[in-house]
Homo-oligomer: A and B are copies of this chain.
Amino acid sequence: MENVKRPTIRDVAAAAGVSQTTVSDALSGKGRLSDETRKKVHDAATKLDYQPDAIARGMRGQGLGLVGISIALENEANPSAVWYWISIASHASEAILNAGFALVQLPHNATLLTKLRVPLDGVIVVDPLENDEVIRHFRRKKIELVTIGRDIKRPQGPWLDDDYEGGMTDLLDQTVVPGERISVVTFGLHKSYIADALRGLDSWASASGSPVQQLHCDQLDDHVVDAVLHKTMAWHAQVIVAQNGRIATRLLQRLKALGIRVPEMVRLVSVADSPELQFLSPAITAMQPHPAELGAMATKVLFDRLNGIGTEERKLLPMDIFIRSSAPLCRVPVPD
């Protein structure tokens, strides 16, 4: 609530001895004024500390300069997911502010979104679910939308992501010998990154003759995790691929508790890296996502679209592989 009575365009016009139109044009850089007039206006504006009122400006159809961001975070205490989210949001935020826009934090919940009164110029949705209700909400309102990851049931519109499919084949190339037995432990299947990673894994495994066992963990308590691990061991898995850092961390804890040594008895790999994985012992091999870059790129794509510049609809970032001791390098990749 700006309690101070701010100067209006009229005050500046009076001070500079010109019309409101002239002030408006001078300050928004329209090329129809003499340099002299322009300077006169700028001086007056500076002296009065004039800042155009964004609301009034918005009424003229410019929009307010608000970009929303929404992420499907199922659990606030999941450090991997939270790190990912914060990295995206903080980098998007900086780009957005530099454009004079503001970042509105949105819940991933269509009912709550209904209560939102302010008009958004655009929205970034991170890690959408299947038939994502937030995406549907904004599409219905015809608000410009960019997603990081995609709705696997409705993969429309512009989206960006790390290349989990390609990353997975690279990762397996470097850490698994063809023919070795691979267990995959998933937790949720509704996000696109896991579908992509599984696709990469399946194609690598069928090309190289590795059997794959897919296991699903619906909870992360000791009991459930131990049951999953028993299955992998009974199946004689040599490598366990965990869906994300959170699961990898839990699996490692329970492997240790059960006396199963990593990497000697079984190797462990995480699809998505997050900072804590390097501090575990053994540190966990993983593919690195690029939340900071994705946040900045999503903002750029969004702004381009708001400005009517059609940009490529999809972009995949190649992933880096961090080989750590939970699954050491086992083959040097051969250049073709």
Contact = CB atoms under 8 A, between A and B. Distances in A.
A119 B76 contact: no
A137 to B, nearest CB: 13
Interface string A1-15: 111100000000000
A285 interface: no
Quickly give the copy total for this chain. Answer: 2
Interface in A77-120: 77, 79, 82-83, 85-87, 89-90, 93-94, 97-98, 100-107, 112-113, 115-119
How big is chain A's contact interface, by range?
A: 35 or more
Contact of A77 (B63, B118, B275): B275
A97 to B, nearest CB: 5
A275 B250 CA distance: 13
A52 B308 CA distance: 27
Given A64-B55, A89-B105, A112-B98, A249 B279 contact: yes
B76 A79 contact: no
A143 B2 contact: yes
Contacts of A1: 63, 121-122, 142-144, 306
Contacts of A113: 97
A275 B66 CA distance: 33
A259 to B, nearest CB: 15
A93 B107 contact: yes
Contact of A100 (B55, B115, B121): B115
The 4 closest A-B pairs by CB, nearest first: A54-B117, A79-B79, A77-B275, A3-B142
20 contacts: A1-B142, A4-B141, A51-B117, A53-B119, A55-B55, A64-B64, A76-B86, A82-B82, A86-B86, A93-B105, A93-B106, A98-B112, A100-B116, A100-B117, A102-B106, A102-B116, A102-B117, A102-B118, A103-B104, A104-B104
